[in-house]
Amino acid sequence: MQVYFDNAATTALDPQVIKAMVETMELNYGNPSSIHAHGRQVKTIVERARKTVAGLLNTSPSEIFFTSGGTEADNTAIVRGIVDNGISHAITSPLEHHAVLHTLEALERQGTVTLTLLNVDEKGRIDLQQLEQVLRDNPHSFVSLMHANNEIGTLTDIEYVSALCKQYHAIFHSDTVQTMGHYVHDLTKLQIDFVTGAAHKFHGPKGVGFLYINHNTKIKPFIYGGAQERNMRGGTENVYGIVGLAKALEICYAELTGHQQYIQGLKEYMIAQLKENIRDIHFNGDIAAENSLYTVLNVSFPCTDIADMMLFNLDIAGISASGGSACSSGSDIGSHVLQAIGVDPDRPSVRFSFCKNNTREEIDFVIGKLKELCLEKA
């Protein structure tokens, strides 16, 4: 059996997404910036996709900008949001994706901002009281906090953070890459400045994402070139990717409640099976259903003597999982997220992440292999 439990890294394309993209590839090859009939036809397709995304997120199409993915969207929001608004102080957490953390650290090294890293507890929860105190001392800051952590799944109450930022006249950016398509995001209600998404996290194609920019928040382009994306992002649009992104998000919203219940059930089943079959395991992050991303489960195992080989052995057994953020795979540096919440570095930690295509039978298979690898060594 081959089991794919690395959906937080990327998801399989939905067959309906493939169909929509192929149809566009076959029939619509014009450049959307061209003024002739072929170009206008493709421009209409791009704008239709923009309208679909905006409608699902309850916002205006004029506030949705297509990008090459979540990293570009995060960089655009952070760099332009800070520089173009004259902000000298930024606030984030040590748990952020490197697309956020490294960008803010670079701005601090350049002397553009001073950076405050908020405290986190052993479950990866942000100290929101500290956030309010820092905002009170530093109004007009730039705040960047992700909705759900990509490694441990702990959720942050971004509605509460948004209200705090509004109270203290701060700009708020949230990396929602892991939760987009998995939760309802009502951007009119949220009143946030920037939100980012990446299609390949919700069964769309790689290499395409979007940035939501609140119409009250003014920034200049991050990538200069042509007048694409209403002069906000130079470069010919990835038309087929944009079509796939919109179709994937549309499918997610149509199936969201059912899939959320199903995948949450898979996660709870795996938690129960791990507790029953393997002694002395530890779940990293907050695994309470109301506080945790239902697609992610991060586990530390007691078998320290095979720590360096855990993922390799799982791979040999036909199981694809991750040791942390997929964007850092191959690195000798341990997970900054697990380090920040105090996880024992000698114990092997594995992130299992689920999607609508997974089954309980796959979980049973994984539990059996984990017992072979670890139980007798526990």
Phi, then psi, of 175 in degrees rounded to 5: -75, 105
DSSP category for residue 134: H
Residue pair 181/249 in contact (Cβ under 8 Å)? The answer is yes
Contact 214, 192 (CB under 8 A): yes
4 Ramachandran zone, left/alpha/beta (phi>0; psi -120 to 50): beta
Q: Are 76 and 67 in contact (CB under 8 A)?
A: yes
To the nearest 10 degrees (0 to 180), the angle between helices 15-27 and 239-277 is 170
- Contact between 163 and 146 under an 8 Å Cβ cutoff? The reply is no
Specify the amino acid at residue 194: F
- Tell me, yes or no, if 252 is annotated catalytic: no
C-alpha to C-alpha distance for 183 and 231, rounded to whole angstroms: 30
C-alpha 36 chain-centroid distance: 38
Q: Which of 165, 252, 303, 327 is catalytic?
A: 327
Other CB atoms closer than 10 Å to residue 279's CB: what's the count? 9
Beta bridge partners of 298: 284, 351
Is the Cβ–Cβ distance between 299 and 153 less than 8 Å?
Answer: no
**Residues tagged active-site:** 327
